[in-house]
């Protein structure tokens, strides 16, 4: 993801946009968010990520690093799997 075509930005600003996210920047962005927010009604809230960051943080940081190297997210990032759980026995 080098050389973004943004002719109206000075080179220094363009370089800042292309820099890899660092762990401190990601942590600050996550923990500065309101925990009750989610992008859709069926998504997990930011509170889930904040409460479980010790468990999922390493994978998230790896995902951001791979995004920076490849310039795209893996297709499965937008995949959703639904598991039906019966509410009563012998359903």
Domains of the chain, by residue range, sit at 11-78
48-59 per-position pLDDT tens digit: 889 999 998 998
For residue 7, give the 3-state DSSP assignment.
coil
Residues in the chain, overall count? 91
The string over 51-89, giving b where at least 16 C-beta atoms fall within 10 Å of a residue's C-beta and e elsewhere, is eeeeeeeeeeeeebeebeeeeeeeeeeeeeeeeeeeeee
49-85 per-position pLDDT tens digit: 899 999 989 988 988 888 888 877 776 666 666 676 7
Which DSSP category does 33 fall into?
Answer: S
18-38 per-position pLDDT tens digit: 888 889 998 998 899 887 766
């Amino acid at each position: 993801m080098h050389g973004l075509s943004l002719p109206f930005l000075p080179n220094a600003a363009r370089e800042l946009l292309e820099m890899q996210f660092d762990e401190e920047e990601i942590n600050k962005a996550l923990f500065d968010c309101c925990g009750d927010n989610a992008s859709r009604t069926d998504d997990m809230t930011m509170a889930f990520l904040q409460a479980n960051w010790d468990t999922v943080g390493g994978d998230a940081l790896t995902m951001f690093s791979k995004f920076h190297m490849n310039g795209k997210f893996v297709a499965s990032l937008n995949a959703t799997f639904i598991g039906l759980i019966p509410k009563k026995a012998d359903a």
